[in-house]
Chain A
């Protein structure tokens, strides 16, 4: 127990000495921040203007989602400074993304399963109404 504490304290001291000038984490340059905002705004204009082209029933949604994901990646990488952060935080975040993908894809595989029942119910209702 006391050994562990010792190690810990030493590690922290080393950290302190090494980072005294820079603070506790990476500082993002202003030019980079403003540049990222510029790219995000351009992508926003792009995603709005692309809706005036017909890319098929799925095409527009796929393009919109790709642009949104690029924007999200930019925000997470630079604004949320995951690029310079501990990799563990990246792992945490990607885990949540993975589970969202699992959640959505598992549900979507199931969604057509009840079509027949719904249609049968609707026809029953229509017959009842007709009587």
Chain B
């Protein structure tokens, strides 16, 4: 659009000329025009490049939906990694899920769902000019988000402490059959694994130091041999093979251990929950900014876009957690 035509359109300044004709102007011209425009005068939060609050709202809404679309595809890459690896090595996921705390995961799900309600409610408050309720709902949303991060911190610090780290740093300090979650679900299998492990340890010790073990060694070995020949029951064996502790998928043949490549689960786990956690942190930042804005009572029926867009983002973060929770914590 040439400057000459727009100048011509502006100079007579008839009422019928829509503000849209002003597009393409430099900033100085735009502001000058705005001063005379009743819609902009009535709506101090209407940006000068929009004609009406409706147009501004719709443009923002389209923008946030396009952004959410890219977010869905962004996370899809990680979900794809998860799907491929789970279909490829199911035993790794069975093994690793015993290390995750379902209660904490469920608690976080509830916290996030509650914050989704307050976020949706905040949009309603903004639309209806309920300033104090709006601020309250934003504060509750922030509090829930912080609670989520605190639970996440507790979970992560447990994992770090127990050596459940991704990649080459993976060095679990506990055997999976020693965990309460495993013992509770498969008590016979836990006992059997413990028994096999101790027998193997004894054998190793005897091999390393044959002189000391010599007098009793033969008896012990004979006893072990006798005991291991007792056929394990289905309850004892099945959970151990399913989790790759024994059998062809295990790291070692005879001694109960862990499935090969178990560390990959924790790479996926930390990447997925970490990226999600980063989104929660960013969300907290956005809500704090909006709380400051809401403090000035700027939101109302003609200007609630920012609250609506933030809530949409927040719901998407919730949406991703809705899938992450069963996929990581509720493996059967």
Where the two chains meet, the residues of A that have a C-beta atom closer than 8 Å to any C-beta of B are 1-2, 5-6, 8-9, 12-13, 15-16, 19, 22-25, 27-28, 30, 33-34, 36-37, 40-41, 44, 47-48, 51, 54-55, 57, 60-61, 64-65, 67-68, 71-72, 75-76, 78-81, 85-86, 88-89, 92-93, 95-97, 99-100, 103-104, 107-108, 111
Contact of B332 among A28, A61, A80 (CB under 8 A): A61
- Assess the B73–A12 pair: CB atoms within 8 A: no
Q: Which residues of B have CB within 8 Å of A79?
A: 116-117, 119-120, 311, 315, 318
CB within 8 Å for A51 and B332 given contacts A75-B116, A104-B80: yes
User: Would you list the 6 A-B pairs with minimal beta carbon distance, nearest first?
Assistant: A23-B301, A9-B18, A60-B332, A64-B326, A5-B20, A96-B72
B251 to chain A, nearest CB (A): 12
The verdict on B298 contacting chain A, using a C-beta distance below 8 Å, is: no
Cα–Cα, bound, A75→B315 (Å): 7
B72 lies within 8 A of A33 (CB): no
In the complex, what distance in Å separates the CA atom of A54 from the CA atom of B120?
37
Interchain CA distance A9-B17 in the complex, whole Å: 9
On whether the beta carbons of A104 and B79 are closer than 8 Å, the reply is yes
| Interchain CA distance A65-B331 in the complex, whole Å | 11
Q: Footprint of A on B, CB under 8 Å?
A: 1, 9, 16, 18-21, 51-55, 57-58, 61-62, 65-66, 68-69, 72-73, 76, 79-80, 83-84, 87-88, 90, 102, 106, 109-110, 113-114, 116-117, 119-121, 123-124, 127-128, 300-302, 304, 308, 311-312, 315-316, 318-319, 322-323, 325-327, 330, 332
Closest A residue, CB atoms, query B316 = A80
Judge whether A103 and B76 touch: CB under 8 Å: yes
Q: Are B68 and A8 in contact (CB under 8 A)?
A: no
| Cβ-defined contact, B124 with A22, below 8 A | no
The residue of chain B having its C-beta at the shortest distance from the C-beta of A122 within the complex is B260
A24, A64, A107: the one within 8 Å of B54 (CB): A24
Q: For the complex, give the distance between the alpha carbons of A2 and B6 in Å.
A: 10
In the assembly, what is the distance between CA of A2 and CA of B10, in Å? 13
Min C-beta distance of B25 to chain A, whole Å: 14
A-B contact pairs, 30 of them (CB 8 A): A2-B9, A12-B52, A12-B55, A15-B52, A16-B53, A23-B127, A23-B304, A25-B308, A27-B127, A33-B117, A37-B117, A41-B113, A47-B325, A47-B326, A48-B106, A51-B332, A55-B332, A65-B326, A68-B326, A72-B319, A76-B315, A80-B312, A86-B58, A86-B61, A93-B69, A96-B68, A100-B72, A103-B73, A107-B80, A111-B88
Chain A residues near B62: list those with CB within 8 A: 88-89
B73 lies within 8 A of A99 (CB): yes
Collect the chain B residues with CB atoms within 8 Å of residue A23's CB.
127, 300-302, 304
List residues of chain A with CB within 8 A of the CB of B322.
68, 71-72, 75
Report Cα–Cα, A85/B114, bound state, in Å. 23
CB distance from A59 to the nearest CB of B (A): 8
Expressed in whole angstroms, the minimum distance between the Cβ of A58 and any Cβ of chain B is 10
A28 and chain B: residue at smallest CB distance: B124
A117 to B323, CA, bound (A): 33
- Candidate in A28, A71, A99 with the most chain B CB atoms within 10 angstroms: A71
> With A24-B53, A92-B69 given, is the CB distance from A64 to B330 under 8 Å?
yes
Is the CB–CB distance between B18 and A37 below 8 Å?
no
CA distance A86 to B59 in the complex (A): 12
Among B55, B76, B300, B322, which residue has the most Cβ atoms of chain A within 10 A? B322
Q: Which of A19, A37, A86, A108 contacts B116 (CB 8 A)?
A: A37
Assess the A5–B124 pair: CB atoms within 8 A.
no
C-alpha gap A65/B109 in the complex (Å) = 15
Contact A33 to B73, CB < 8 A, known contacts A12-B55, A107-B83: no
Whether A28 and B51, one on each chain, are in contact in the complex, defined by CB atoms closer than 8 angstroms, is: no
> How long is the Cα–Cα vector from A38 to B114 in the complex, in angstroms?
10
A111 to B85 CA separation, bound complex (whole angstroms): 9
Bound-state CA distance A80–B319 (Å) is 10
Q: Which residues of B contact A96 (CB under 8 A)?
A: 68-69, 72-73
Report Cα–Cα, A22/B302, bound state, in Å.
9
